[in-house]
A and B are shown apart, each in its own frame.
Chain A
Amino acid sequence: MKKTDFVENTGVEVLAEDGCKKRPPKDNPWKNSRLIIGTIILGILIIIAFVGQLFWDKTLVNVGSSPLNLPPVGNEYRDQIGNWAHPLGTDNSGRDILALVLVGLPHSLGIGFVSATIGLTIGIIFGFSAGYLGGRVDDVIRLLSDTTMNIPALLILIIIQSLIPNAGFFAMALLLAVFAWQSPTRVLRAQVLSMKHADYVKLAQLSGSPDQEIMFKEMMPNLMPFLISQLTAGTSYSVLILVGVEVLGLGSQKIPSLGITLNNAINASAILRGMWWWWGIPTIILIVVFMCLLLITVGLDEVSNPRLRDH
C-alpha cells in the first residue's frame, strides 16, 4: 500500500503524480518460485510430448514395429548397440520406448486432468451448496463426501476394472472422478463457510444480491487459487490411481500409457534382465510429473495463504 500518495487530512485526496495502478513488484504473490518452476517443467514435458507426436512415428508403439530389446543410444545390451532410429531403446516385443512415452504421457495426464476437472466441478457445486445453504443440504453432502472419501479408490477400481477391462479415455476419467470430488468439496465447503460470515458478503446480501450472484461474483474470485490448487492436486491424485491400476495390469491394453508400459516391464522381468530403460524411463517421467504437480499445488497454496509464504 502506498499510503504516502494520499493526503488523508484534506478530505479530498489528490492523485499520485505517477498515476494509478502501480504496485511494488515484490508484493506480487504469483511470483512464487515453486509455482514457476513446476509450471515450466510440466509445460516443457507437455510441449515435448505434443510436438514429438508430430515428428515421431506413432505407429512405433505397436508390437513388432521395431527390433527387440534394443538399448538407448550409446549403450550396449546383449550384442546390440543403441542407435538413433530408436533413441530410448525398445522393449522385448519391439515397441519403441520414445513413441510409448510420447503417446503415453499426454494420455495419462489427460485422463487425470479430465477426471480432476469433473471432480472439481462437482466439488464446486457441492461445496458451495453445503457451505452457503447449510442445514439439511450440508448434512447430506458432508455425510456423502466423508463416507466415500474413506473408501480406498484403488480397491474399488480394481474390482470395476476387472469387470470392464477396456474402459476408454472418458470412461476411465469418469471412473476416476468418482474419487476426485470429495477433497474439493470439503475444501470449498470450509472456505465458503468462513467466507459466508465476511462483512462484504453480508453487505452484498443487504444490497439484495441473489444467492448465486453472491456465490459466483463475490466468493468465487476470492477462491481462485484454491480452485486451481485443487485442480492440480486432483490431477496428481487421479494420475497416481490410474498408474496404480495400470501397473497392476488392469488398465486398457489398447492405448499405450506409462502405467501399461511399467506393467509390461514387470511381467517381462525387465529389472532382472537389466533392461533399465524399459522401466526406468517411464518411472523417471512419472516422478518428474508428480514433482511438478506437487510444486504447483504447494505454490498455489502459498499464493492463497500468505502465512505459508517465506520472506
Chain B
Amino acid sequence: MPEKDVILHVEDLKMHFPIKRGVIQRTVGYVHAVDGITFDIYRGETLGLVGESGCGKTTAGRTILQLYKPTAGQIVFEGKDLVKLKNEEMRQIRRKIQMIFQDPYASLNPRMTVEEIISEPLLVHNIENGKEIHDHVRSLLELVGLNPAYVDRYPHEFSGGQRQRIGVARSLALKPDLIVCDEPISALDVSIQAQVVNLLEDLQKEFGLTYLFIAHDLSMVRHISTRVIVMYLGVFVEMADRKTLYENPMHPYSIALLSAVPIPDPKVEEKRKRIILEGDVPSPINPPSGCRFRTRCPLAQAICAEERPEWKEVEPGHYVACHFWYNTKSLQRR
C-alpha cells in the first residue's frame, strides 16, 4: 500500500455484556464479547475480519458503530473519539459510517416501500428535497443493479440477493466513507454471494469506499480483502495482509483455521495436513487465563496459562499474539 491514510483507529476496545439474574437483576458476571482489540483501517482498503461463530466479530462491528456502548476503549474517526461524542455529533458522523447487515430478510422494514427504505437516511439528515430524493433513490437502485421501476414495491416481493442489493443501496445513500459489512453474504445462496461481492468491489472502485468486511467464509475474505484479521474469543490472534496471512500464517489458530479450507485440487487435498482442533470454544463468560487459545492449542506450555501473549509485530504489518510465534512453522501444511 503506497500511502497509509488511517480512516478509523480502534484502541483497546472492550465490550462486556452484564449477565443479570434474580428479582433485583443483580449482575452475576460478564460476557467478554470483545476484550481489548486494537487496529487501524486505512482509507480505500478492505479489512477482512474472520473467526468462528460467537468469537465477537459482529459485536466488534456493532460496537464500532456505537450500536452498543463500549465498556472501554477508543474509536477514533476523523480525529474524534466516537465513544465520547454527544448524540447530535454522533448523528453527523453516522452519515460517514454505514452498515450492511447479515440477514437481508430482517434488515428491511416489511411495512415500508423500497423508496421509503432507501430515502430514510436522506430524510433524516435533511440534505435533499422531495424531487432530488426521488431521483437519487432511482439512481441508487440502478447503481446496485435493480430496476428503478421497483421503487413502490415492498421488501417481501424481492429475493434474498435483491434485498441485499436494496440494503447496499441504502447504505450508499449518504455517500459514506466507511461501510461495515456484517457477514453481508452468508445468508445468501452461493451463486448470489459472488454477485453481491462483485457489486461491493465495483462500488468500492467507483466511490473509493473503505470496508470492514466481517465474515466466516475464508475463501470469500481472501477474495475481497486487502488485509485480514483473525479473531478468537473476543481477541485478535493475527493480522497481516492477505497474501501473508494465507500463505504464511503464524498463529496456531490461524493455521488450524486455514487448514480447514478445502483446496479444489484432489492431489494437493490428499497430501496436505489438516489440523483438527479438539474441544469447543470456551465460554466468553469465563475465558481461559493467559492466552485465550491455550485450551485447544497443540503448542501450549505453562507460560500460556500465566501470561497473555503480546500483540507483536513480527514482520512489517504482520501482527501475532502468540508466545511461540517463531515456532509454529511445524504446524504449517508445507
Contacts and interface: CB of A to CB of B under 8 A. Distances in A.
B101 A202 contact: yes
B152 A200 contact: no
A281 B244 CA distance: 87
B83 to A, nearest CB: 16
A59 interface: no
Nearest to B97: A206
Interface in B80-100: 90-92, 94-95, 98-99
A-B residue pairs, 5 tightest by C-beta: A199-B107, A207-B121, A208-B91, A221-B111, A208-B94
A213 interface: yes
A276 interface: no
Given A206-B65, A207-B174, A218 B124 contact: no
Interface of B: 62, 65, 67, 90-92, 94-95, 98-99, 101-103, 106-112, 120-121, 124-125, 145-147, 149-150, 152-153, 156-159, 161-162, 167, 170, 174, 191-192, 195
Interface stretch (A11-19, A80-88, A266-274): A11-19
Contacts of A21: 152-153
A203 B98 CA distance: 9
A200 B109 contact: yes
Contacts of B103: 199
B124 A208 contact: yes
Nearest to A27: B156
B146 A13 contact: yes
A276 to B, nearest CB: 50
A222 B109 contact: yes
A222 B195 contact: no
A8 B67 contact: no
A9 B149 CA distance: 18
Interface in A8-34: 8-9, 11-15, 20-21, 23
B156 to A, nearest CB: 6
Given A1-B156, A221-B111, A8 B106 contact: no
Interface of A is mostly: loop
A1 B110 CA distance: 13
A209 B152 contact: no
* Residue in B124, B145, B153, B170 whose Cβ sees the most chain A Cβ within 10 Å: B124
Given A206-B94, A208-B95, A213-B124, A20 B150 contact: yes
Contacts, number: 91
27 contacts: A1-B156, A1-B159, A6-B158, A6-B162, A15-B147, A15-B149, A20-B149, A20-B150, A20-B153, A21-B152, A198-B106, A199-B102, A199-B103, A200-B109, A202-B99, A202-B107, A203-B170, A204-B109, A207-B94, A207-B124, A207-B125, A208-B121, A208-B125, A209-B120, A210-B124, A218-B109, A222-B109
Contacts of B94: 206-208
Q: How large is the interface on A (under 10, 10 to 19, 20 to 34, 35 or more residues)?
A: 20 to 34
Contacts of A78: none
A138 to B, nearest CB: 11
A3 B103 CA distance: 19
Contacts of A1: 156-159
A21 B92 CA distance: 36
B58 to A, nearest CB: 11
A199 B164 CA distance: 13
Contacts of A213: 124
Nearest to A204: B120
Contacts of A204: 109, 120
A209 B159 CA distance: 27
B101 A13 contact: no
A305 interface: no
B108 A200 contact: yes
A8 B159 CA distance: 8
Contacts of A9: 191, 195
A311 interface: no
B195 A11 contact: yes
A222 B111 CA distance: 6
B157 A2 contact: yes
Nearest to A223: B111
A203 B110 contact: no
A292 to B, nearest CB: 28
A14 B162 CA distance: 12
Contacts of A75: none
B146 A205 contact: no
A23 B153 CA distance: 11
B161 to A, nearest CB: 6
A200 B167 CA distance: 10
Contact of B124 (A20, A23, A209): A209
Contact of B147 (A14, A207, A221, A222): A14
A43 B95 CA distance: 50
A15 B152 CA distance: 13
* Residue in A9, A11, A207, A222 whose Cβ sees the most chain B Cβ within 10 Å: A207
Nearest to A5: B157
Contacts of A14: 147
B99 A206 contact: yes
A203 B65 CA distance: 11
A206 B153 CA distance: 23
